Chains A and B, each alone.
Chain A
Amino acid sequence: MAIAKAERLMNLALCLLGTRRPLSKRELRHSIEAYLEAGSDDSFNRMFERDKDDLRELGLVIETVENLDGEVGYLARRDSNRLPPITLDAEEAAALGLAAKVWQQARLAGAASGALQKLRAAGLPEDVDPYGAHGALEPRIPVHEAAFEPLMLACRDRRPVVFEYRKATAARPEPRTVEPWALECWRGHWYLAGWDRDRGAERVFRLSRITGKVRSRSGTFTADVPDVVTVRETVASWAGETADRSARIRLRTGAGYPLRAKATSVRELGNGWDELEIPYGHGLDAWLVEFGPDVVVLDPAELRADVVDRLRAVAKG
């Protein structure tokens, strides 16, 4: 029966952590049952390389040392693998307990639990979290986009990527070569900021518009990564959150609560209508049209024209 991978990885980790001198591949092969059963040298070598990579993903620092005879040996030194002393009180432990359960993405959920388990092993107090007692606060980070994990790894490792991207209004996707800087989740959607090589400029992409696979490109970044990458401000301006002007509308009494909530002034006209002054940012026309006959735009003329234009399109059907 094939030996489970977790058992093999665990044995390799314990061997590398337990030794004071570098262990050669041959020694490791003879110490770990799964490697003896691996069959050919080739399949052992492949397995061994993969396992080392996996352990490095888990945070293990594995050194490669050549001895006087030219033989390569491996070890995981304690001083480079030890968690520095960390003391957390019960409140801090509870706060981390709450934070560790927010990821809904398998890889990061696993990593967050793993972090908490390492801290537990290091003496993190075990306590109930203040909300957990009655489960009254449940923050969740949603990740529905398939492009998330490859892009997260590419951002982490600073690797260029290629993907097919369909712009908001484009009929077909186009290939984009991007140096990925940062990912940000806003209102439940993920965005990527990075350097678009073909356009020679910074761009922000919405992950749900990436079609097909994200592929890594060899080589390193060519553009400098800014110290601060702002995604949310850009997306918020697309979403019309950064209004630089204001508009005057008439709104039917009792209708359009969200417009009232945003209004800078509301005046009752007394004839079943109110007059509102509201911030005018990108996309306001589409929003106002949703209220149908309950909204009339007074000015500016440009907004009025846009709304009429949209209404005509719907009226024509």
Chain B
Amino acid sequence: MVGKPARPTNAIDQTRRMLSLVTYLKERPGARVEDVARAFGITEDELISDLDVLPLCGTSFRGGDLLDIDTDGDRIWWHNPAALGAEAAEPLRLAADEATALLVAARAVSTLPGLREGDRQALLRATAKVEGAAGEVAGASSRLSVTFESEGGVFADVDRAISERRRLWIRYYSPARDEVTEREIDPIRLVSVGHTYVEAWCRRSEARRTFRLDRVAEIKILDEPSAPPEIELRDLSEALVQPAAEDPEVVVEVGPGGRWVAEYYPHDSADELPDGGLRITLRTPDPASLRRLALRLGRDGRIVSPQDLADSARQAAREALAAYDGPQAEYDEARPGYGGVGAAFDEGRRPEQGGPGGASGASSHGVQDRRYERREQRL
């Protein structure tokens, strides 16, 4: 499912569409192909392929009651609208999946922190009306839910800057380097995929950059107009991070408690190890940024190569330990068998799950998004 377009040609979807099309066209003699395609959210080619099928449909292929619909490529004409009977062309009730798909999405968007209040209200009104029209099939929609995360204040400022075409000044946190930097950006659009990001032209690096809103430490709308160059935006059907073939390779070996690494990092390979762990090969433009991963893994895994990355993690751990030498050292010795978060988790309250290795959510998505970050540094 990853990376594929959302709508492959599919007999079910096409049938569903043609049933609505019949109703729609009946009310609009001479409708323009262009307008109908837009109203239905399909390409003109898709619409033409529907118009090729419709004349083969009717209540019986024997009689003269096949739908006589044709197009000159510009307008669509239906020569025998009576063939269907007045009733057979009425709008159809929503199916359970249709109601679910629309309602779950509408509820998710309406909870986006920072959404314009007018739009939120419109979504809530529309949701209530669709629930009413869907009737009992709307019930199943409560079995799916989606939350988008966003920083409401930052979102609202970015949204305003985009609509007023103004430049933004931000202080932005980069986890790969654990530093906050200042930059001026020309915002282009807001993208919510679990977290919310602003895609922008970064004046400092003269390149397209994507910033996660919860990493924006401070934001100001400037008086200068925003002037992003015409650039190609990200293809949202693909994962946000795509390592490049020329990126250096990193090999990580993890125990069972570190398998989450394979869930969070796009990788070339993940081979099973006899102890239930994995040997993961991944590529990243900036291997040094994986030092945090090595530190986080603790006894659940280690960097195999490159060697200097493994060494730098070890060195960082030794430096950190130096601060603990002294009177409090006995705490360490008092708990010889303690196996870390993984062990605590496994038999804990909710044995079925851990974040990444029972990780703190904050840094687990930190881990994930750092890839993103590095990718951006590269571009």
Contacts and interface: CB of A to CB of B under 8 A. Distances in A.
Interface string A291-313: 11111100001101110111111
Interface stretch (A62-70, A110-118, A215-223, A264-272): A110-118
B324 to A, nearest CB: 5
A200 interface: no
Given A11-B58, A138-B189, A281-B360, A289 B354 contact: no
Interface stretch (B73-81, B244-252, B280-288, B362-370): B362-370
A188 interface: yes
Contacts of A296: 320, 323-324
B7 A168 contact: no
Contact of B95 (A59, A86, A206): A59
Contacts of B109: 95, 98-99, 102, 139
Given A130-B116, A305-B338, A309-B340, A82 B96 contact: no
Interface residues of B, number: 159
Contacts of A305: 331-332, 334-335, 338
A11 B59 CA distance: 6
Contacts of B104: 108
A285 interface: yes
B53 interface: yes
Interface string A73-94: 0000010111111111101111
Interface in A274-293: 281-287, 289-293
A161 interface: no
B93 A19 contact: no
Given A103-B6, A257-B178, A88 B126 contact: yes
Q: Considering residues A10, A116, A126, A152, which has the most beta carbons from chain B within 10 angstroms of its beta carbon?
A: A10
Given A106-B7, A121-B23, A189-B194, A83 B94 contact: yes
B185 interface: no
Contact of B277 (A5, A171, A235, A255): A171
Looking at chain A, what size class is its interface with the partner chain? 35 or more
Contacts of B354: 167-169, 238
Query: 8 closest A-B pairs (Cβ-Cβ)?
Result: A171-B276, A239-B361, A188-B194, A59-B95, A168-B354, A283-B360, A292-B316, A122-B91
Nearest to B299: A313
A80 B125 CA distance: 25
Nearest to A315: B317
A258 B172 CA distance: 11
24 contacts: A6-B14, A10-B18, A18-B84, A55-B15, A84-B133, A86-B132, A100-B102, A106-B4, A114-B95, A117-B41, A136-B189, A139-B109, A169-B342, A184-B147, A185-B194, A187-B147, A234-B350, A257-B178, A283-B355, A284-B360, A287-B359, A289-B295, A292-B319, A309-B298
A279 B267 CA distance: 33
Contacts of A86: 129-130, 132-133
A72 interface: no
B329 to A, nearest CB: 8
B325 to A, nearest CB: 10
B142 to A, nearest CB: 7
Contacts of B205: none
A100 B109 CA distance: 10
Given A14-B84, A104-B236, 7 more contacts: A114-B95, A168-B259, A204-B350, A261-B217, A285-B340, A286-B360, A317-B313
B192 A110 contact: no
Given A58-B12, A118-B92, A168-B259, A291 B178 contact: yes
Nearest to A302: B331
A223 to B, nearest CB: 15
A172 B276 contact: yes
A15 B62 CA distance: 13
B317 A311 contact: yes
Interface string B116-128: 1011001101100
Contacts of B38: 126
Interface string A245-264: 00000000011111001100
A260 B193 CA distance: 25
A94 B39 CA distance: 12
A10 B19 contact: yes
Nearest to B351: A167
Nearest to A19: B59
Nearest to B125: A92
A24 to B, nearest CB: 14
A81 B92 contact: yes
A96 B360 contact: no
